Amino acid sequence: MKILIVTGPPYSGKGTQCEIIGKELQLAHVSTGDRCRQEKANRTEIGLILSRYEEQGDLVPDSIMKTLFGKILDENKGRKGILLDGYPRTTPQVNDLLHLVEEKNLEIAVVVNIEVPREELLHRALRRAADSDRQDDKNPETHLKRVRIFENQTVPAIDHMKTRLSVADIDGIGSIGEITRRITEITATHF
């Protein structure tokens, strides 16, 4: 099974792009954000832990994410591939993922990193908050905190992935279709 990772800051359009690309490539779209919300809604043991962290806009501890991600990999055994949306977010999560992939004899085909300037991210965050019914989008302070966490924790994780994996940076400014075309140009050689 091949794995496609799509990463980028919050509000970069990862989820939208992953839905489109996942369907085009016939990959299971695994959104860790959606999965975390599902776990919370079902009030699972992991879900209750996730609730405490996410309501404050904090990243969930790597050990919890590793457990959840191992479960996700097992659930998708036998598929052509999976598209990871929102994982890994920290350098330890990158290492956990690399370990799990090796242990389960899987392959990370490519990492697509969507780049969007901070000003544009915050503008998109305000738009999403107005259009969304997600509880975690209601507090404007949370938007800036999420972007800062990305800059402080996920950017180093992306840099770490660049030393171990094939990572393609793409411009995340433009129409949805333009960004999709940029991504499919990269994924065409891998899937």
- The predicted-structure confidence for 123-139, as pLDDT tens digits, reads as follows 888 887 777 766 556 67
pLDDT at 176: 96
CA distances from 69 to 18, 82, 159 (A): 17, 12, 21
Mean pLDDT, range 28-34, rounded to an integer: 88
Q: Is the pLDDT of residue 57 over 90?
A: no
Q: Which pLDDT band holds residue 142 (cuts at 50, 70, 90)?
A: confident
Smallest Cα–Cα separation from 8: which of 178, 167, 174, 190? 167
Structural domain count, the chain: 1
pLDDT at 55: 75
Q: Which domain holds residue 48?
A: 2-187
More confident residue, 74 or 181: 181
Q: Which pLDDT band holds residue 113 (cuts at 50, 70, 90)?
A: very high
Element (H, E) at 29: strand 28-31
Q: Picking from 147-151, 161-165, 178-182, which range would have the lowest pLDDT averaged per residue?
A: 147-151
Q: Picking from 43-57, 95-109, 133-147, 150-164, which range would have the lowest pLDDT averaged per residue?
A: 133-147
Q: Is the pLDDT of residue 74 over 70?
A: yes
DSSP string, 159-171: HHHHHHS-EEEEE
Alpha-carbon gap, residue 74 to 78, rounded angstroms? 9
DSSP state of 26: T
CATH number of residue 154's parent domain: 3.40.50.300
Q: Is the pLDDT of residue 98 over 80?
A: yes
Helix intervals (H) in the chain: 14-25, 32-41, 45-54, 62-75, 91-103, 118-131, 140-149, 155-164, 176-187
* Phi and psi torsions of 135, nearest 5°: -60, -35
Whether residue 87 contacts residue 79, with contact meaning beta carbons closer than 8 Å, is answered with no
